[in-house]
Structures are given as C-alpha cells and as structure tokens.
Amino acid sequence: MAGDTVVVFDFDRTIIDGDSDNRVITEMGLTGLFNKLRSNLPWNSLMDRMLEELHSQGKTVEDITECLKGTPLDQHIIAAIKAAHALGCELRIISDANLFYIETILEHHGVWGCFSWIDTNPSFVNEEGRLRILPFHDLSSTPHGCKLCPPNMCKGLVIDQIQASVSDSGKKRIIYLGDGNGDYCPTLKLGENDFVMPRKNHPLWKHIHGKPKQIKAKVHEWSTGEELERILLHLIDTVPIQDKISSSNTSRSN
C-alpha cells in the first residue's frame, strides 16, 4: 500500500536532529549579532540579516555550503527515507528553514532525489554573490490569516494543497512527521486515515497530548532516528481499514 501514501516531513529537529539556521549562526560566529537582533526582527528577516553579515565579512556561499555539509544526519533516518522512496511512497518536505539549506544537506547525504517536492522559504544568490532568504508567503500581500502559524508560513495551507492533490491522484493517506509549534496546524487538518508522528517531548507532541480530542489522525510518537525508521516503515506497511473491508468484500464476491 506504499503507493497510496504521501509521507510529509518537517526538516529541522525531524530529518536533522538540530536546527539548520542555528548551525550556521553558531558555526560561523554570528551568535552575538543574532542575540542582539533577535527581539527586533521576524525570524525569516533575521536569518536574511545573518547572511548579509556573513557577506559583509567576506564569507562566500561556498563557505556556507561547507558549514551545512557538516550537519549530521542519523543513518536510521537516511535508511527510512530511502526505504520509503523505494517502496513507492511520495516524499515531501514542509519546512520553515529554506531551500538552500535543505537541498545542500540532503544532497550531501545522498537523499535529495528521494523527495518529489519541497515547500519552504525560497532562497537565491543575488548579483553580488550573497545568499538571500525570502518568506514562503509574500508578507506584502494579504496575510494568510492563521493564528497558529508565523506570518511567513502556514503549513496548514500547504497540507490543504497536498490533500487536494492526494485526492486527485487517487492516493489515500498522509503520514506527517514533525516536532514544532508550526507542525500543529497541519496536524489538525489530517483525517482519520492519516497518521501523525510527533517527536516526543517537543512542542507538537505537547500540543497533541494537551488536546488529544482535536486530532483525528492516528498518533505515533518517536524520539530517536531508530524509532522513526521502525515506526514509519511499519505505518507504510499498514493497510488502511477501508482497503481491508474492500478486499474482504471482493474476496466474498469471488
């Protein structure tokens, strides 16, 4: 039943154990400026400002790339991604990181090609050779209006689009993996045939356990890469109830 499944990953603290923004900040000596500006700028704008500072110091895009390549990725998570892809699942990412960071890290670890689509803050290198980060939702246009999500990205709106495409393509269920506050909105939109895998003791897990009746999807928590791999592959192998009923009815009619 893997071909009927869309697996949607968050990136920071889900695919990677840490935070890609924080890695660049700490490894490239930006902690002082970051702490100074943190309360004055939205996160997305703050990250773009950090990259402006690196450029002013003579740091190149190649320097940032090398920093990101040092991001560790649990071998169990690499195995889970490759196995889910090989089984025929569609793999996607919804992340409040940015495309350059995500692509660089996943390409380095050999799993970039496993993902069919990435929804995240766009990034580009400008004519001066500086890496820029823009918000996923254009902040100058009509706000997305979701009170649960930051202004630059509502993951719930992305899940709405994925659900529409799932319905159109004949796929039947979503498995959503995440950890943060921003993963709660899309979790609320999942249905009874879907699964959510919150990382234990992280904000999403706490939201779910605080108001469990608001969640329609089946909940399977995880903590480590080994647990993520084991649980995800088990869920991919789980046949939805309606398919079991349909199969049973077909067998009886024969």
- Active-site residue, 12 included: yes
63 is in an annotated binding site: no
Q: How does 32-42 read in b/e, with b if 16+ C-beta sit within 10 Å?
A: eebeeeeeeee
Residue 113: CA count within 13 A, CB half-sphere: 2
12 is in an annotated binding site: yes
Q: Kindly give the pairing relationship between strand 123-125 and strand 5-9.
A: unpaired
Partners of 124 in beta bridges: 132
160 is in an annotated binding site: no
Which run of H or E residues covers position 196? strand 195-198
Catalytic residue among 4, 12, 48, 194: 12
Look up residue 214 and give its DSSP letter: G
Catalytic residue among 10, 48, 183, 194: 10
179 is in an annotated binding site: yes
96 is in an annotated binding site: yes
Calculate the CA dihedral of residues 174, 161, 80, 201 and round it to 10 degrees: -80
Q: Residue 17 corresponds to which tokens in the numbers above?
A: 């154990």
Q: Vertex 176, ends 106 and 236: CA angle to 5°?
A: 90
Bind-site residues for substrate: 21, 96
Catalytic residues: 10, 12
Bind-site residues for Mg(2+): 10, 12, 179
